[in-house]
Amino acid sequence: MTRPSIPLGLVFSRSGPYAMMGREMEKSALMAVDEVNQSEEFDFIFTPHLRDPGGVVPAYHTACDDLIRETKTEHIVGCYTSASRKMVIPIVERTERLLWHPARYEGFESSDNVIYVGAAPNHTVVPLVRHMLEHIASDVFCAGSNYVWTWETNRVLREIVTSAGGRILAERLLELGETAVDHIVSEIIERRPPAVFNTLVGESSYAFMRALHEASARVGLSIPMLSCSLCEPELKMIGAAASVGCVTSSAYFESVGGAENHAFVARWKARHGADSVVSVDSQSTYVCVMLLARAIRRAGSTAVTAVRRAAANHRYDSPQGPVWVDPDNNHCFLTPRLARSVPGCQFRIFWEADAPERPDPYLSNLDLAAIGEKLVKRIDAVGKRPTHLRVVK
């Protein structure tokens, strides 16, 4: 018996400035499609339709417009940057389609026609900053790429840090793709901040981590670095020595425990080679396709309204652990994790939430007072109090 075919749009940039991530995500989507198509559990197959916007923002609009017209697809998995997603939202809203969005982003958005499978800011930046305040330092030096992800992540960082009595020592921004990092590295070596918060992306980040590692080694310094975007394939590109020791926040690392992830990583390596690595974004792309397939099966239809309703609160035991869509804001319940990059281009997880956390794209439930209180306790325990915290006796 032949199973009916459902068209599925895949929009990833295989060329252009973030082609590496685009290719990884597309590979993962196709792997998930093959698994659905080979599985007896689904009474349909996906026919993937690939589009490559080449990292050009307006091309995402054209690609989706074309997909919807030509293939009549009701569901699109794809996009990576916020700029590309903002380009696609008007079309999916106008034509009542669903965009399944794998990447983490800075929040402050909630479209009825997007299922946000990547992490919201409460999953990434908040636990990272909390960890920094409790265990590393309350003063921090920020280096980032000059665009919306950095601006918003740094704003959240500043809000939490200053409310806890800490300081942002500096905020240095580089244009996207810029690899001239020496002036920032020199400033860090000179000022010796207790922590560096890195929101640089792509080549800028790799150049920065290499240069800072080299300069620190020369003067015998070791400054803790924090990131909420670093992933396994990037560790490879940065190089063995410079990529080690970065405290990273993410909902997924290849080293996540559990049978689901072990099996997933094994299937991934069997398909893409023993030396290939899974990243948070490729795993999330896989989860997008699986959430969609399950929702279609549950709804018995591909119609957007029915699929959205079927996806809501429907738990899927994914490689990253249990995941489900919160119908309040179309973002996902995910498990935040903190890890340290270790030799071998891997992350060692040292903290994870007890249960998947409700997505909070507008950070409306961010409890600054609770974070500040905990910090004061820590400082008390150490027997030292920052002078700008007034002591009332």
Partner 1 sequence: MKDEREIPVLRRQLHRLGMSVTEADPEQIIDRKIAVDVIILDADSFSIESDATTALMADVPVIALIGTETPSRLKWLLELRPASFLIKPLRSAGLYTALVVAFDCTLRRIEAAAHIEKLQDRIRSRRVVFNAVLRLMRAHALSEEDAFKLIRRTAMRHRTTIEQLSADIVARGGMPNRGSRTA
Q: Which residues bind partner 1 (CB under 8 A)?
A: 58, 61, 82-83, 86, 90, 106-109, 146, 148, 151-152, 154-155, 173
Per the CB < 8 A criterion, the answer to whether 324 and 315 are in contact is: yes
Nearer to partner 1, 113 or 216 (CB): 113
Nearer to partner 1, 58 or 343 (CB): 58
Nearer to partner 1, 158 or 314 (CB): 158
d(CA 236, CA 255): 15
Quick one: DSSP state of residue 283? H
Q: Which of 295, 326, 299, 327 is nearest to 311 (CA)?
A: 295
Kind plus residue range of the DSSP H or E element containing 314: none
d(CA 147, CA 82): 10
Quick one: DSSP state of residue 244? T
d(CA 351, CA 132): 13
Kind plus residue range of the DSSP H or E element containing 49: strand 45-51
Quick one: DSSP state of residue 75? E
> CA angle at residue 205 from 203 to 209, to 5 degrees?
120
| Nearest-approach distance from CB 108 to partner 1, in angstroms | 5
Nearer to partner 1, 22 or 107 (CB): 107
371-374 contacts at long range (C-beta below 8 A, 24 or more positions apart): 371/129, 371/130, 371/133, 371/160, 371/163, 371/164, 372/163, 372/164, 372/165, 374/130, 374/133, 374/134
| Nearest-approach distance from CB 51 to partner 1, in angstroms | 17
Q: How far from the centroid of its chain's Cα atoms is residue 340's Cα? A: 16
Nearer to partner 1, 81 or 285 (CB): 81
| Nearest-approach distance from CB 386 to partner 1, in angstroms | 26
Nearer to partner 1, 148 or 342 (CB): 148
| Nearest-approach distance from CB 236 to partner 1, in angstroms | 31
Per the CB < 8 A criterion, the answer to whether 198 and 225 are in contact is: yes
d(CA 188, CA 213): 11
| Nearest-approach distance from CB 392 to partner 1, in angstroms | 31
| Nearest-approach distance from CB 366 to partner 1, in angstroms | 12
Nearer to partner 1, 173 or 256 (CB): 173
| Nearest-approach distance from CB 83 to partner 1, in angstroms | 8
d(CA 106, CA 32): 26
Tokens at 322, concatenated: 């249990």
Tokens at 239, concatenated: 């190089």
| Nearest-approach distance from CB 90 to partner 1, in angstroms | 4
Nearer to partner 1, 49 or 86 (CB): 86
